[in-house]
Amino acid sequence: MQDLTPYPAVKHLNFSHNPPNMLLFFDRGFSASAAAAIVPYPFHFFVCVRLRVSVANFFSLTFNLFLYTIHLPMLTNYLTVDVEDYFQVSAFENIVGPDKWDNYTPRVEKNTKRILDLFDNYNVKATFFILGWIAEKFPALVKEIDARGHEIGCHSYYHRLIYDLSPDEFREDTRKTKDLLEQLTGRKVLGYRAPSYTITKRSLWALDILEELGFAYDSSIFPIYHDRYGLPEAPRFKYKLPDYDLTEYPISTSLIMGRKIPVAGGGYFRLFPYWFSRMALKKINEKEGQPFIFYFHPWELDPEQPRMKKIKFLSRFRHYINLQRTADRLRNLLEDFSFGPIINNMQQGMQRQP
């Protein structure tokens, strides 16, 4: 029987807040001991018995699982919130433009505070990409997000799709929002996320303006095919944008049967059953050894929000599916994975530079 020597053999390890969810992956060939090791502890006992693992190997495996539980940290993923209200989404823009927003009762303040309380309960920090319109209407909310230790990022002012704007319009929209957020918090805003991830081949010129305005990173490129957004050929994980002093944190996808499947949050998180999302996200952490980016919106935790009328079937489906399940799924996510804001990774990278 092949000997199990854990430290040299382990290729990658990750585990959740609950040690029984630990998984091990080995460089060497498959063995009975290794088979037992990839089963959630302490259920490896039954696999060891079934596969007739020796007593010595069983106790060695158990002891080393315990050591891993103590000494090896989880991979920290990026948790992000796009702060916009239910009537400001791109799917409704043809019936509710910015000139009509004042006709609707805002729900974003209450929903965002609910998220802040949830994050406090799990001792989690995140990056909040905030609309300038929201910041101007609710400055105290922006200050509270900052005071609770979260990162503030820019999500445009009016949530207009970038490729529908001219470069001058985009520059003014972004500058106005960045300045407002910095005035409210007294901190530089380093991160940007485009409305509906609309940095595509049609709008790559926006990267020049982001660099010009002093952003350090962007998190707008979604490496998939979609009717509104997507840059399918883009890298799947964090990378330095060629020819720019900008880092890109692309929206996460999982490789399943060779295809990139969007599993980063939002409507995809509501559409797929939680077991599938968890499996796909764990695959990114454990098999690829990479952190993933997760995103959602405050209105996704609000199943009682008013229903829009006269909207297309596809828009209705995307917006309202499984709203009543989002809160419970989000709690499960916070229990199963480790998270932090994007700025933490940026600061670590800056500290490593000579």
- Other CB atoms within 10 Å distance of the CB of residue 303: 13
Look at residue 60 in the predicted model and tell me its pLDDT.
65
The answer, yes or no, to whether residue 45 has pLDDT greater than 60, is no
- Round to whole Å and give the CA distance between 222 and 295: 12
- 3-state SS, the chain, equals CCCCCHHHHEEEEECCCCHHHCEEEECCCCCHHHHHHCCCCCCHHHHHHHCCCCHHHHHHHHHHHHHHHHHCCCCEEEEEEEECCHHHCHHHCCCCCHHHHHHCCCCHHHHHHHHHHHHHHCCCCCEEEECHHHHHHCHHHHHHHHHCCCEEEECCCCCCCHHHCCHHHHHHHHHHHHHHHHHHHCCCCCEECCHHHCCCHHHCCHHHHHHHCCCCEECCCCCCCCCCCCCCCCCCCCEECCCCCCEECCCCEEEECCEEEECCEHHHHHHCCHHHHHHHHHHHHHCCCCCCEEEECHHHHCCCCCCCCCCCHHHHHHHHCCHHHHHHHHHHHHHHCEEECHHHHHHHHHHHCC
> Once rounded to an integer, what is the mean pLDDT over residues 301-312?
92
Query: In angstroms, what is the C-alpha Rg of the chain?
Result: 22
Cα separation, 236 vs 214, in Å, equals 24
Q: Report yes or no: 110 and 81 within 8 Å, Cβ to Cβ.
A: no
User: Which long-range CB contacts under 8 A does 256-264 form with residues at least 24 apart?
Assistant: 256/280, 256/283, 260/223, 260/224, 260/232, 260/236, 262/222, 262/224, 263/292, 264/222, 264/292, 264/293, 264/294, 264/295
Q: Which CATH superfamily is domain 76-352 in?
A: Glycoside hydrolase/deacetylase (3.20.20.370)
310-344: pLDDT as tens digits:
888 888 888 989 999 999 999 999 999 999 999 98
Q: Token digits for 262?
A: 């969007």
Residues 252, 291: Cα–Cα separation, whole Å: 9
Neighbouring CB atoms inside 10 A of 8's CB total 8
pLDDT per residue as tens digits for the range 227-267: 777 789 999 999 999 999 999 999 999 998 889 999 999 99
pLDDT, averaged across the chain:
83
Query: For 72-118, how does the pLDDT look when each residue is reduced to its tens digit (9 = 90+)?
Result: 467 999 999 999 999 999 888 888 989 999 999 999 999 999 999 99
Which tokens is 32 given? 């009975």
pLDDT attached to residue 314: 85
Least confident range of 17-31, 49-63, 263-277: 17-31
Alpha-carbon gap, residue 236 to 189, rounded angstroms: 24
CB 15 within 8 A of CB 23: yes
Alpha carbon distances (Å) from 322 to 60, 318, 319, 328 = 45, 9, 9, 11
In the chain, CATH 3.20.20.370 covers: 76-352
- pLDDT at residue 17, rounded to an integer: 38
Cβ-contact 168, 185 below 8 angstroms: no
